[in-house]
Chain A
Amino acid sequence: MKFISLFFAFFKIGLFAFGGGYTIVALARSEFVNKRRWISDGELCDFLALSQTLPGIISVNFAAFLGNRQGGFIGSVFAVSGMVFPAVLAILLLAHLITEANNYPVLKSALAGVRIAVAVMLLTLTFSQARTVLKSRFGVLLAVSAFIWILFDLSPAVPLIIAGIAGWLFYRQKGKVFE
């Protein structure tokens, strides 16, 4: 029963995940933090940061972490399958039909609306994560530097690695956990 409900919860998220990876995280926050209360904002942070640093598709990693949290390895299999199912189905059904959005003006307009929703979701997600994670001036500094670095289209891996080293140095110098 638990596995079936994991599958369908992620199916629902996968179905509305326009715009890829981070949309899934934002949707998951709405579903699992606010509505079902399976996880806290803090755990969402942990999973997001781990998904980002590990190899693989971020949204797949993220679903796997949540599934694993709820039901071990089998749970992660159900969560990931549920999430990719709509994407697989959509491609199998549409691969022949759609080549260019221009042929379908209504679809294009609807998608323009959806993009606005996605941007709002991401901004809300960013604020909620900032409130949960950033507890010191040093943390804010790391966040702002990463923000600027990636804004200039440089590799997102670099600020994450530098931040990790900073956290290590912080602990060695001050003898307490970085917050």
Chain B
Amino acid sequence: MAESKARVPAIEGWFRMDGSAPCLLGVRCRACGTVYFPRESFCRNPGCGHGELEETQLSRRGRLWSWTDNRYAPPPPFVAKQPFEPYTIAAVELGAEKMVVLGQVASGVDASAFRVGQEMELVLDALFEDDTNEYVIWKWRPVAA
């Protein structure tokens, strides 16, 4: 039964497993301030390159840069539901970090009224499940008007 399954991250260390205020976990260079997501092991700014990196929480909200969807099941290693359910993918621009981050759009959200520039927020949602676990991932959804 789905209720008894453990909720575990689909990948370790990429986001905070916090039901009420989840966020992406990246790193920030202590020298130049550049933010990286996913984590980097060194600063890639060619004008810096020496900074120590510290973990940082990325903004939970951003503006929609673009979106599209997938009407056909992708190949493995994606784990597709049977039967396949199309999903939307959004590219969201984070203001403070000045970067665009991709994510699926939370299941059940209708993208037909999406507009570039609208505010989006990060949530956790199921990516796939097996017999024992439900694997969760970050997703984007519109901020309720």
Q: Do A and B come from one complex?
A: no
